[in-house]
Every structure is written in structure tokens, then in C-alpha cells.
Amino acid sequence: MPGPITPITPLDTGKDDQDDLVFLDEAPATQPAGAARPVWRVMIIDDDEDVHSTTTFALGNLEMQNRPLQFVHAYSAGQARELLRHERDIAVILLDVVMEHDDAGLHLVRYIRETLKMSDVRIILRTGQPGYAPEIDAIRDFDINDYKTKSELTRIKLFTTVTAAIRSYEQICAISNSRRGLDQIVHASTQLMALHGVQNFSAGVLTQIGELLGMRADGVLCVQQQHDNGSRDLVVCANTGCFADLPHGALCSVANPRIAAAIEHALAQRSNVYAHDCVTLYFAGKSSRDSAAYLLLPHALSPIDISLLEVFCSNVAVGLDNVELVTHLHNAAFYDQLSKLPNRTRLVEILDATLAGPARDEATLSLVDLDHFSETNDALGHQFGDMLLLAVAGRLQNQLGAQLTVARLGGDIFCVLGDSSQVNPANILALFQTPFSIDGQDVQLSATLGLVRLGEHVGSGADALKDADIALKRAKMQQRAGHFYFSRSMGIEIRERVRMMHALRTGFSQGQLFVVYQPQIDLTTRRPVGAEALLRWQTPDGKFISPDRFIPIAEYSGIIIELGEWVLRTACRELVQLREQGHRNFVMSINVSQVQFRHPLFLDMLRAALEETQAPPEFIELEITESMAMEEPDLLIKMLWQIKQTGVSIAIDDFGTGFSSLSYLQRLQVDRLKIDRAFVTEITGSARGSSIAEMVIQLGRNLGLSVIAEGVEDERQAQILQALGCPLAQGFLFARPMTAAALGNWLNNETVAGAA
């Protein structure tokens, strides 16, 4: 929603703040005794009440053209439609662009002009954010009289803008029934608004003046440009008729002394200057960019012609400002401000056009991601980084071929689109073999590419860009300075991941996920000493989803944080219940994922779970993987020390599958090592099959750590492990994972020895 306008500044009565637009001066009409004093009715349409109050506060006690203002308020486009069906004497509408939806204001303009046929009312668009400003098509297609951002409408600017609109409304109303030129002015304005760019608009102004006056347009229109050093130039924007051969650019006062002098005089006077054989028309602009048009006349102008020109010039001045604004907005919306290359929005348009055209089959889209650019940017500064980006943009444009499209998507990611013979990894990566010379330094860069062959692509330009991004991510996973082409199988994989992510969220909220427990056994007594809590997912149709499939999705999406906390609390509550049933020395082992473990609030979550469930921490064991334990070990050592202060013990899961540093292992202060099921399976497979399991058992003994083997499925494995000195085990030989209710019954009623 657009914000309120900026605080109103007081009017400075000592300042010359004359409006730039020139209108006909008309004496106020004498009012009969007792007659109600006429007012100018101004409608404020905005969904922000503060805008209404600040606007009425700024203008409420002021008079314009010898009349006070009367305000009509509407707080939505819908309410405005209802009011305007009956309120037909509105002079000015101050209209918010964004209300019920992003273009509610524009739709209301169409309704006012086309359905209600209110052509006289002056409409001033206001928006709180320039990003919500109407684009080129909107300004061309809608009859809008002025556009302002709320941030620029200080009190004096608001007064000036509304005054100009009321004067324009007054003049149009005064001549609407008596002057032949009104239709021509409206027609001319419509024609002008259909023109793109300042030069086209300027040429249209000269042409429309000729039609308005019924003569050939022999004229020149110049804009006054101010340079940083304070100097000013007159730049020719348009020239017609006998001046058609006049070159664009700075107006030469030597070659065209009369034209230059006339335009300089009009700009200095800030008004139109009439002579018997020529006229110089003044158009006020923003930021000292005033304009003036010089036209030859076949005869002196009549008072009506002069009146028409005065009104027409007021509209043209606004139109010139709007065209410059639209040009700026267009560039901001579709082009990168640093490199001036097409941005993502413009690239999608180009891609859509390519996909719909004959060049599709041979075209390739490539994302070009600069490797380690952020490090260079941080080390050498953002100004240096900007120069480096410009150098990359220039090399991509100049050396790949002018017929290709090069865009910048933001940051350090560029895009190249064109024929596959030129847009390929060999050509693009070769550009980075030569260092970039920036500010006297040679910088060596490399890039990683994600490519899509458009001939194989099914979908829109935006979809092609997404596919290229998927390929780029895959290339980064493999290696830097590499490349990867998108394939349909990758798309299927991504869609399946997204589908499962949504299904997992739904399943968790609907109670489809549950915790099961696999008992852990003392190999000597064959008695249970604990259990490992395991997460399971069963869909409504009865199918089980493997944890190997949904746990990575949960980690990728971040659901694992909430899911892991729920598992921890559930397992803690189950431990408390088992203790109430008499199983006082039972240990509950709970897996913790890397994403969950590294969450900044994990320690707080653990403490809260222990406090709320009243589970004894000395009977809680957290399992972390070996690869997790070896990644950033110094940070992990500190984290594990904090966890140990709670009384909870730590086990390293899947031990032996990674590359542990024994020196770090000693410093980690873990309590137990778990022998991975792969090494348990090998025990009976070969003569040396027990070597790794034996090594882990011996290591645990030497370090004073407990050891447990997982995945024990037959009695032979259990016997060998026991002979090697492994005290604990879990696996299908003893018990399969079971629900909490089944675990309680199993512990109470079943004997463990010999259980399968």
C-alpha cells in the first residue's frame, strides 16, 4: 500500500513561486447579492486516511482563482465510482494509483473518461512508490493530466499542481462550448500521448501546432540542458518543414542567430513570445530542463489562436515531463542501471519472443555466474567491483557477437542468448582466460555456466530462465569454472522435490508422521538398555515414504527445524512414560540433523524440551553424524560442550564412514560411537570383514567411549561383535522399530533372548 505523503511545508509568501504553466487571465465573475459563492470541487481518492487529512489541511484555507476549495472524499476506487455517478462538477481528481489492487487507479481513469464521459475534469495521479508508477502503455492509453510521487508533493508543490490543474480546467470549461479548437486540442493531446520517446513527442508537438493553427509546421523545438559545470546548452529535439535539415544536437547560435535568440528570450521570460511572422512557445520542465519551440507564421495570430496556443502549451508542458518520466521509468524497469544491459524483466520478454519465433530451434540460453566475485568485491571495494562488472559486460557484448543478447540479472550473474554455435561453454569460458585490467590491476576471473537449449524447452521465457538457474546450481555442485546443460530429467526431479516438500508440510500438519523406537540391546545379557527414536511417514493411502527420501527434503526446505523439535519432545515424553512403568535405566537415543543442530536456537529448544517434559537429561542421547562432527570442528567442540552442560550425552552415528581426525575426536567429548551397518554386514562376508568393526571397538575402548553396532540381522554377527568386545547392538535380530505402545508392551511382556 502506498505510504502517506510527506509532511506539508508552509507556504513561503515571500518567495516567487509562480506556476510554470501560462493560462488565460479572466476576471472573476460578479456574484449577485445573496448568491452562494462558487467553489472549486476537488475529489481525493486514496485508501490512506492520512493522505486525505494532510491534503485538506494543506489546501483547505486557500483560494485558487478567487474561489475556495470544496473537497469530496472517496477511500476506494469502488466508492469513487458510486460518487462520480452523481458528482459531475468535479474540477480536479487527486487519484492514488494503488488501492484495491495495483492498477485500481488506472482502471478508474478509464471508467471516468470512457464510461462517464468526463473529459474536462483534471486527473492527477499520485503514488507513494515510483515502482507503482504507470508504465508506457498505461500513460499512452489513459487520459492522465499529471503524475506525481507523494514524496515530491510538499505543500507548495501540491498547491502549485492543483492550481495549475484548476486553471487548466477553468480554461477548458470556458472554451468547451464556443471555441473550434477544443476538439483539435484533445485530438492533439491524444496523438501526442501515443508517441514514444522525447524526440518523437517533440516532433509531434510541432506537427500538432501546425494542425491547430491550420498551417504548415516550419519549426524547431529545443530543450535547455544544464551541465555539471553550470553551463547550459540548447539541444535540438525536433525540427520540421523548412528546418528539417537542421541537425540534432546543440543549437548553433552562429548558424541560426534568429532562432537561438528567440528561444533564449522565451526561456528567459518563461512565457510565450508572439511576433507577426513567428512565435516562440515556452514549455516549463523539471530540473531546469525547460523547452521552447520556434515556428514561422504565414500571418499574425488571432486572439483565438493565441488562446488556443496558451491552453495547448500547458498540456504540452505536462506531456513533456511525463514522456521524460516514462522514458526514465522504462529504463529503470527494463534495463540494469549499472551496465545498461537488459535486466531480468526485459530478458523474459526477449525469451518469449525468441521461443515464439523461427530462431528457437537453434537458440541457447546461458547464465554466466562469476566465481568468487563477492570476495573480490569485499577485498577491493564496491567501486572496483562495479568497474569489473562493466568490464565483463563489455567483453561479453563485444567479443561474442553483436547479434547476441547479453543481459545482467543482478549481482554477478549475466546471461547470453543467441545461436548455439556462439552461445556454448567453449566460447564463453574462453573469454575469461585473459585477465581483466581494472584501475591498473589485472584481475583473473572464472565463471560457471548453466545452459538451456531452447529447441528442447517446453514453457515460457520465465520457465527457461528457471531451468537455466537449475542447471547453474548443478554446475556449481560439480565444480567451479564448469558448465551444465539443463535436461528434462532435472526438471522432473525438481518438480518431484517441490511436490514432496508440499506433501511433507501437509503430512506433518495432518499427523501422518510418527515416531517409532528400535530397542538397543546389551549383547551379554540380551536385555534392552535403550531405544533409538526413528521418524516415519505413512500417507493416507497406506504407503510408507522412506526417510532417505523425505529427510533431505525436510532439511532443504527448513521443515526439519520444526519436525526435529517435535521428534525430540515426543521421544522425551515417551522416556518419561517408560520410566513411570519401571524402566528406570532406559536410554532414549534421538537423531539430530545437521540443519537442526546448526540452528542458532537449538540449544534453547533442547533446554525447553527437557524442562517441559521433565525427561532426565542423563538418559537422553543425541546422535550426530561423523561428517557433521568433522565439519568446522572448533565450533562443534564449543557447541557440544554447551550441550553436555545440560547433562545430555552425545553419540557419533555411522562412525567409520567418514574421515575423522582422532585428535578432534578426543576433543569432542562424545560418549558413544555407533558402528555403521555397512561394517556390521561385512563381518561375516570375508576373512578381513571384521577389521573396521574391530578397529572402532578398540578405538572406543582406548578413548573410554561406549560402542554400539547397528544393523545386526543374524546371530552370527551378534556373536562376532560380542567376541570383539562390542557391548551393545541394535537390529532386526533383536527387534524391529515399533510404536510407543508396542515398545511398552514389548518391554513388559517379551523376553529378549532369542527374539527375532
Beta strands (DSSP E) in 482-569 are 483-485, 513-522, 527-538, 544-545
Cell numbers for 238: 525536433
| Angle at CA of residue 748, ends 745 and 750, nearest 5° | 80
Which DSSP symbol is given to 392? H
Asked if the domains at 1-25+37-177 and 499-749 fall in one CATH topology, the answer is: no
Domain ranges of the chain: 1-25+37-177, 179-334, 344-486, 499-749
Q: What is the mean pLDDT of the chain?
A: 82
Do 224 and 186 contact (CB within 8 A), yes or no? no
Q: What is the pLDDT of residue 33?
A: 44
Q: Which of 248-262, 446-460, 584-598, 604-618 has the highest mean pLDDT?
A: 604-618
As a whole number of angstroms, the distance between CA 710 and CA 729 comes to: 6
* Cross-strand bridge partners of residue 452: 365
Return the DSSP state at 362: G
Name the CATH architecture for the domain at 499-749. Answer: Alpha-Beta Barrel (3.20)
Q: How far apart are CA 353 and CA 417, in angstroms?
A: 12
- The predicted-structure confidence for 493-538, as pLDDT tens digits, reads as follows 777 778 888 999 999 999 999 999 999 999 999 999 999 999 999 9
What is d(CA 679, CA 511) in angstroms, rounded to the nearest whole number? 35
| Neighbour tally for 67: CB within 10 Å | 16
Query: What's the rounded Cα separation, in Å, for the pair 410 and 396?
Result: 15
Distance CA 475, CA 449 (A): 7
Helices (H), 614-739: 626-630, 633-645, 662-667, 677-682, 691-703, 715-723
As a whole number, mean pLDDT of residues 479-488 equals 79
| CA atoms within a 13 Å half-sphere pointing along the CA-CB vector of 755 | 21
Beta strands 649-655; 672-675: pairing state: parallel
Cα separation, 632 vs 645, in Å, equals 21
Write the pLDDT tens digit of every residue in 24-40.
333 333 444 444 678 99
Distance CA 30, CA 9 (A): 34
Q: What CATH class does 1-25+37-177 carry? A: alpha beta
Helices (H), 17-151: 49-59, 77-84, 104-110, 136-141
pLDDT, tens digit, for every residue of 629-650? 666 667 788 888 899 999 999 9
User: Which residue in the block uniquely carries the three cell numbers 571495494?
Assistant: 381
Q: Which CATH number fits domain 344-486: 1.20.1730.10, 3.30.1330.120, 3.40.50.300, 3.30.70.270?
A: 3.30.70.270
For 699-727, give one letter per residue: b (16+ CB within 10 A) or e.
Answer: bbeeeebbbbbbbbeeeebbebbbebebb
pTM for this model (two decimals): 0.47
Name the fold adopted by 179-334: Beta-Lactamase (3.30.450)
Instruction: Give the model confidence (pLDDT) of 106-127 as tens digits.
Output: 889 989 988 888 888 999 888 8
